[in-house]
Structure 1
């Protein structure tokens, strides 16, 4: 990679600070193992477990559920690889790169939307992880459950203490910046695999072999199956839709394109499918053992009535959920907030603000409704998909993989458009969102909602291409032309 990739000349202070600047080559020390471990940490968590397990609860067989997981992972890794390339090449985060397509002012809108979604997910994951905290405390303090009678704002005192404890753990992890995040992820991800394998062993034992688990029948057929299949695929993609956008926040630290390609390829589709396989098998085992599917792993652990099992299992889930929440739902909005006020905020300050805002959500009021979760995550995917499509088309087709680095940080550069706003990008985004979500509001088109993320990313990207193909014909700086293409 050319050293010029890190050179910024006379940046505007309102568009630049050290956290938004290109990462110098000597500080790009994330190899493929780092990315594999990070993805392992992000996908091995309670919410991912419940979403995979709920496929069985929705009526799918084991094979059908695994097919839905594999399909969603192929689509996700393709989009993530494409949107990782510019971050790796230029060492820039998502809030800066998106200025190329939306303008340096217009970029604030999709950045804030994505930040809002990430903070929303932070609240959801924090609530889910707090249940594991409560399970650990319950083993140590037998009277823990009695505190539930002191309830306010929809939760008992025990749940509030668990929630607050888990929130403080997030503040501790982010308080020392991105390097602590990387080190934490290196051991947090594999921990929950050990728990999962133990529960798979239990499921196989209780079913007297793998055969009965794979024999759990599907209650879906024909059109009903395909409707559920694509709705669940869109839902699973929706869980990671924010990361499709902000993946440059992580790949900007990569040593090379090869490192991020291999690391993410191993970490997302392979490990996500393996983790989903474990959760699906375990959920099938709960049907045989208890006569009903239990999709919440904390609830399942309590069924064993063994303090050691509950303590070790809940601690593993606690660490796993903490790891995904920090990387997926704190790192990204932190950079987004820095982008708004670069002269006032750094990573740690912005991260703390993000998790404080997350307290304003109330996931405990709706989280336990599986249908609500899939509807919400599907809408998230449909909303963010068009923006992902626009970014990918802008980099690979409109700009032909060549950005003018300095223009990201000045107000008179290539990405100024009209007073800092590219209205064509907003038109393309709105068209994509309307097409993606129209099935929610027009009953006769309800079937389209099952494909919302795919429609959003395709329609948003195509619309942007048609609107921009005759507009962008600007010279690229000589230093940019010298860089090796990915």
Structure 2
């Protein structure tokens, strides 16, 4: 047991962070604080999955030629693929109370893991910007219908982003409380939106017509594979922060049930809402929110409800995006606390939000990130699950010269295979689910290389040895005399 208030006060003083915010960044969470149950994890993850961006993407699938059911199937498959590594990586948070990026030091080296922190920060900033733009577009559509005037999208984005940044800096407890409230409201609002769409007085909006809509495209299998890969790539790019939301969790079962159930339910909600809206107009637009606004028929209370729904969606997911990005900064820069790291990436994300072309180039950006995260995921699973058997030396993760230092802080074997995997992923067509092929192939090649290398190099053998150490034992007087 630790004196948690004293530890938090020390961290606030060290990083010069305001009191009242979460003080823990890269540091392990004390055991007495690890009490979160599955329903809180469910609420957080569902709020992360149910967001304007996912709804927009789900509608885009129908606009690309799919039926509502094919779009829903694609979303479900993307969860199965994308969360395969995510659930494995999340165990680090439950078992050791540390952020996911700290565990990367065991695989890539105490210094080499810095590359994963940079990639995570970049990915989170992009996600923040993408969601802010998607939400801004939805808000603009609702405000235009409410006030019959066009409001600058950039003004909406700036106001929206600043609000989210301020909330994200508070930390985990605010995220948990916000998720509980937003979860109930999202479920209720989602049901209302579906009813509004189904009862709109136009034949193509009727459930029978929407459910029978077959889509307009050809080569559906290839199309499903392409979008499954693209959407799953987004979750692959999040595997390094899976532990961030689970380091306060009580058990692995709480994490597994809460995370996977929320991912499936959340994706089904988004697929149905976005897909139904675009299918109702026969796939002639890719903007689900424009269709939803039209279906309100100018009803003020419905438009206000949709506005609150969009704000809640963006609020919850972007608080999480900034939270994980802030933790990435703290693992990269040891002198920066979580509060300041979150604030810094929030301001960068605001700048990126004002850049054009984010939503339209979604698949391009996610594909490029997947080229790196897919082999990284394969290497991580091979090392953490097979070599280490999920047993880490936690103190060694925070020591520069430790069993995880490898060659001056870098595991060059792991970094080499990530680079090779980058080119493998680019060479394999997306219709063959290239991220899975890359992860499996890279992980297998890395594992073979490590098994050979640890016979020759003691540093490799030390870094790949499974041990379970939570804290260093306090030396006895006799030990000190020996030293």
TM-score normalised to structure 1 length:
0.84
Report what 1:176 is aligned to: 170
1:297 aligns with 2:289: yes
1:128-184, CA deviations, whole angstroms, 9 ceiling, x for partnerless residues? 222344456556755x42x6xxxxxxxxxx222211110121122123222111111
1:228 aligns with 2:223: yes
Report what 1:460 is aligned to: 442
Distance 2:63 2:145 in 1: 29
Distance 1:141 1:56, change over 3 A: closer
User: By how many angstroms is 1:476 displaced?
Assistant: 5.5
Aligned length: 443
Distance 1:320 1:57 in 2: 22
1:431 aligns with 2:428: no
Distance 1:138 1:216, change over 3 A: closer
Counterpart contact for 2:210–2:276, Cα < 8 Å: yes
User: By how many angstroms is 1:18 displaced?
Assistant: 4.5
1:212-260, CA deviations, whole angstroms, 9 ceiling, x for partnerless residues? 2121123344xx2222111100111123233222101111111111110
User: By how many angstroms is 1:34 displaced?
Assistant: 0.7
Distance 1:360 1:164, change over 3 A: closer
Distance 1:448 1:313, change over 3 A: closer
1:387-411, CA deviations, whole angstroms, 9 ceiling, x for partnerless residues? 1222222111011221111110112
Distance 2:183 2:236 in 1: 20
Distance 1:285 1:136 in 2: 19
Q: Which of 110, 117, 127 is the aligned partner of 1:104?
A: 110
- Could you list the runs of 5+ residues in structure 2 that have no partner in the other structure? 3-13, 16-22, 455-459, 472-483
Look up the SS of the partner of 1:360 in the other structure: helix
Q: Which of 148, 166, 181 is the aligned partner of 1:187?
A: 181
Q: Which of 162, 165, 184 is the aligned partner of 2:156?
A: 162
Look up the SS of the partner of 1:365 in the other structure: coil
Distance 1:199 1:479, change over 3 A: closer
Look up the SS of the partner of 1:23 in the other structure: coil
Listed as ranges, the matches of 1:49-448 within 5 Å are 49-135=55-141, 137-138=143-144, 142=148, 144-145=149-150, 158-205=152-199, 206-207=202-203, 209-221=206-218, 224-287=219-282, 292-298=284-290, 300-302=292-294, 304-327=297-320, 329-343=321-335, 345-362=336-353, 365-369=356-360, 372-438=361-427, 447-448=429-430
Distance 1:358 1:135 in 2: 23
Distance 1:197 1:31 in 2: 26
- Could you list the runs of 5+ residues in structure 1 that have no partner in the other structure? 4-12, 148-157, 440-446, 482-486
Report what 1:473 is aligned to: 461
After the TM superposition, which of the residue ranges 305-314 and 418-427 deviates more from structure 2? 305-314
| Root mean square deviation, CA, Å | 2.7
User: By how many angstroms is 1:84 displaced?
Assistant: 1.1
Distance 1:457 1:478 in 2: 26
1:366-391, CA deviations, whole angstroms, 9 ceiling, x for partnerless residues? 1453xx32232233223211112222
1:69-120, CA deviations, whole angstroms, 9 ceiling, x for partnerless residues? 2211112232221111122101111221000011011111121012111111
Counterpart contact for 2:394–2:469, Cα < 8 Å: no
Distance 2:376 2:154 in 1: 36
Counterpart contact for 1:103–1:420, Cα < 8 Å: yes
Look up the SS of the partner of 1:232 in the other structure: helix
Distance 1:335 1:131, change over 3 A: same
